[in-house]
Structure 1
Amino acid sequence: MFIKLRQFFLRFHHDEQGSALVEIAVVTPFVLLLAAGVFEFSNIFNTRLLLEAGVEDASRYMARCSSDWDTCSGLAKNLAVNGAVINGSARVTGWTTSQVTITKAQSLQAIDSATGTQLYLSSTGTVVVAQVSAAYPYPTLGLWSYLGFGNVELTVFHQERVLGW
């Protein structure tokens, strides 16, 4: 029996027909996995950039808004999420104004007391800063969870010195 099996395999010893098919069959799953990973990572990166742009817009708006804090906060949250103060279209699907946090830091030191570095140009010792942050649970396309990673939460933060009020 071993002799017949050996003779069977020896017939294929110098036969190269079908070798490309075998190579493609071995390599294709890895190439598809790599392509899916690149797509997923680029989508995560794009989503983070959109979140960052929204948070930066909202903090700039808060720094220059001349109305009261509560009115400006609502408008700035809408600006962050929808790209417009009123109405607009969503920057990121599923991102809501409740995921955006706006705070006012009342007494940030204009000069770092430890190093003497001037952090903000100011005629006073303290400045008011609008801080905007957001946390967004990224809805994965499945590759992340398939590879065993947990849920991804994208967080962004930006602050601007308040020029008005």
Structure 2
Amino acid sequence: MIRFSEIIQRFRGEENGAALVEVALVVPFMLLLSAGVFELSNILNTRLLLEAGVEDGARYMARCNDSNWNTCVTLGTNLAVNGAVTNGTARVTGWKTSQITVTPSLTDAVDATTGTELYLSSTPKVAVVEVSTSFPYSDLGLWSYLGFGALTITVSHQERVFGW
């Protein structure tokens, strides 16, 4: 009968298959790391597209006048989501105009607590429009596989309203 120590002695100087064992140990970690980089890149790309859309919509609405505000909101939200005031193609798959919130407000031109001038104005209040959205990110699989919960990307942007 062959003892265990004799079996070990046979493999001691043997190097055949060492590369295969190393690859078998490293490849799963490399695949997981690559998938993580891809998933994170997709999350960041989605956020940047949402941010660009919200900024475009806010800039468009900041140039509107009060007489046709509802029309401006409709066109501005369409610009944010589709990249064009009419028609266009969606910047982010699944993003809808109903997910955009438009909030016009009057805000102080000077911060009362710090005295910092926020907006150059001859009046104490200025009209500001804030465009925001919350978009539920539909992951590529790795995010939920790792046990993370649902991810919602929230973006907002403010612009001073100048009108036409």
TM-score normalised over the length of structure 2: 0.96
Quick check: 7-16 or 51-60, which moved more?
A: 7-16
Report the equivalent of 2:69: 69
- How does 1:77-92 map onto structure 2 within 5 Å? 77-92=77-92
Report the equivalent of 2:149: 150
**In 2, distance between residues paired with 1:127 and 1:68?**
19
**In 1, distance between residues paired with 2:121 and 2:110?**
9
Report the equivalent of 2:120: 121
2:23 is aligned with 1:20: no
2:33 is aligned with 1:42: no
**In 1, distance between residues paired with 2:91 and 2:129?**
22
SS in 1 for 2:93: coil
SS in 2 for 1:120: coil
Cα distance, 1:7 vs structure 2: 1.3
The unaligned stretches of length 5 or more in structure 1 are none
**In 2, distance between residues paired with 1:102 and 1:112?**
23
Report the equivalent of 2:3: 4
Report the equivalent of 2:32: 33
SS in 2 for 1:103: strand
Cα distance, 1:10 vs structure 2: 1.1
Give me the identity figure in percent.
64
**In 2, distance between residues paired with 1:77 and 1:163?**
18
**In 1, distance between residues paired with 2:25 and 2:163?**
64
1:116-140 per-position Cα deviation (integer Å, ceiling 9, x unaligned): 1100001100000010000000000
Cα distance, 1:82 vs structure 2: 0.2
Letter in 2 for 1:74: T
Cα distance, 1:4 vs structure 2: 2.4
Cα distance, 1:8 vs structure 2: 1.5
**In 1, distance between residues paired with 2:96 and 2:136?**
11
**In 1, distance between residues paired with 2:133 and 2:20?**
50
Letter in 2 for 1:82: N
TM-score normalised over the length of structure 1: 0.96
- How does 1:104-115 map onto structure 2 within 5 Å? 104-105=104-105, 107-115=106-114
SS in 2 for 1:160: strand
Aligned-residue Cα RMSD (Å) equals 1.1
**In 1, distance between residues paired with 2:116 and 2:40?**
38
